[in-house]
Amino acid sequence: MGFVGLNVLTTRRDPGRTSGHGSRCIKIRIVCSVSKVDNALVSKAGKADLNWDELGFAYVKTKCFVKCVYKDGQWGEMTIDTDPYVKVHIGATALHYGQSCFEGMKAFTGKDGQVRLFRVDENAKRLQTSTERMVMPEVPTNMFVEACKLAVRENIEYAPPYGFGGSLYVRPLMFGSGARVGLQPADEYTFVV
């Protein structure tokens, strides 16, 4: 993961003076992370048989997704799944009690041909906040980042080429897949990207 520092400066004022609205202008330094997907796959970006000029915000079937199951108090191995359907128990807490949460981010192809995820670590933090509120196990930041990078890497041909103004939308999702009757947390969770 690379880090890019950005300096944003407001209008400088005398520290003792305020603007007409009673607020002081300050200098802000923002550090944002940019995660490169994989240099070796750059030549495959934008190779899907799609009309890049007419992309809208709609579901487009991709090659696969990443899946990881939490069971018996621990996360299992990440797997690649090509079936666009997820098998879910009829008693899953996600179906009956809405125990699920998601994030959303975009993968962009840069002028240099590199495909990047912007601030993926911040998305991981937001998902962790959501899972805590939903009484779900935390997806560790490193697992979240790796799952997102793997999903993009495996579907890199769907990242629009530079200059088309589009992006590959990435949707990490976690849901209670364990069967429970009554309002209580699941005993199994599925994380997909």
Residue spans per domain, the chain: 37-52+60-192
d(CA 100, CA 69) in angstroms, rounded, equals 14
The confidence score (pLDDT) of residue 6 equals 28
Residue 77 is encoded by which pair of tokens? Answer: 């191995």
Mean pLDDT of the chain: 82
In the CATH hierarchy, which fold is given to the domain comprising 37-52+60-192?
Answer: D-amino Acid Aminotransferase; Chain A, domain 1 (3.30.470)
The better pLDDT of the pair 89, 23 is held by 89
The pTM of this model reads 0.77
Quick check: 83 pLDDT over 80?
yes
Q: What is the dihedral of CA 165, 105, 50, 146, to 10 degrees?
A: 130
What phi, psi does 116 have (nearest 5°)?
Answer: -130, 145
Confidence of residue 75 (pLDDT cuts 50, 70, 90): very high
Spatial neighbors of 68 by CB under 8 A, at least 6 apart, are 75, 76, 77, 78, 79, 143, 147, 190, 191, 192
Q: What is the mean pLDDT of residues 178-185?
A: 92
The confidence score (pLDDT) of residue 86 equals 95
The confidence score (pLDDT) of residue 17 equals 42
d(CA 117, CA 115) in angstroms, rounded, equals 7
Confidence of residue 183 (pLDDT cuts 50, 70, 90): confident
Residue 61 is encoded by which pair of tokens? Answer: 């079937």
Quick check: 163 pLDDT over 70?
yes
Which amino acid, 9? L
Confidence of residue 79 (pLDDT cuts 50, 70, 90): very high
1-60 per-position pLDDT tens digit? 332 222 222 223 334 444 444 444 333 333 345 556 655 455 577 778 888 777 778 888
Spatial neighbors of 24 by CB under 8 A, at least 6 apart, are 13, 15, 18
